[in-house]
Structure 1
Amino acid sequence: MTNSGTEDYVPTEGEEFMNPRQQAFFRARLEKWKSDILAGTKSTINNLQEASSNLPDVVDRASSESDKALELRTRDRQRKLISKIDAALRRIDEGTYGYCDETGEPISLRRLEARPTATLSLEAQERHERKERTVRDD
């Protein structure tokens, strides 16, 4: 990454929301997250390709297969996360990043730092989860 001044920068509530510097901060964070996930995926592929099916012991083979299944489930979750990261990067390009899909209000910087792919403000997310629980309980 080039030295664009975003390495030591931390967004604050006192500045204009989603100004170019904040957008660059979140873009860099999202791109790094995606790159870390993709690097992990490459190591998973290498690990899965290593010969473990020729283990002579049935228990060792079963344990190895269980480990592979867990690894594949983890990678599937990460694949879904990459699609959320890509969607967040598109929202930065479109100028809609950081705004709640439900209310159009800014999502708090603290929430975006904790969950850069968030599309709902904390209040809207809580309403959504309460509604889901009500539907599930019926």
Structure 2
Amino acid sequence: MLLQYIKDEYKTISIVGMAKNSGKTVALNQLIAEAIDENIVIGLISTGRDGESEDIATETEKPKIFAEEGTYFATTTELLSLSDATVEIIEITDYRTPLGEILIGRVKDSGYIQIAGPQSLTQIKELSQKILNLGAQIV
């Protein structure tokens, strides 16, 4: 149970790996499952792109990201169309990436999503705070 070591101490956490395909999304999915079990509202952001079924660079299979109803997340306008979850767009931010504008969404009907976010630390912090202010307990 990873979440038990985090939930009472931290509001924002990062999952970091030393290389591609090192288990970051697997760890994220474990935390998501534990949050669902404990009815904890979460927010999801990535400094790159996560949740795609195949790694574009290595052409290897990757784990998808399942988001429960009520989950807040950041993604781009382009990646939103690849989601099979029903989502509500809460805000289109001023942050831009090569994949499009960053938006904040909330899952209305559970399903798979792809997440993305800005690469600057300042923008990640600002986006995390916005999602916490919207009601996420952990980002």
TM-score (norm 2): 0.26
* More RCO (CA 8 Å, sep 6+): 2
Rg comparison, structure with higher value? 1
Higher helix share: 1
Higher strand share: 2
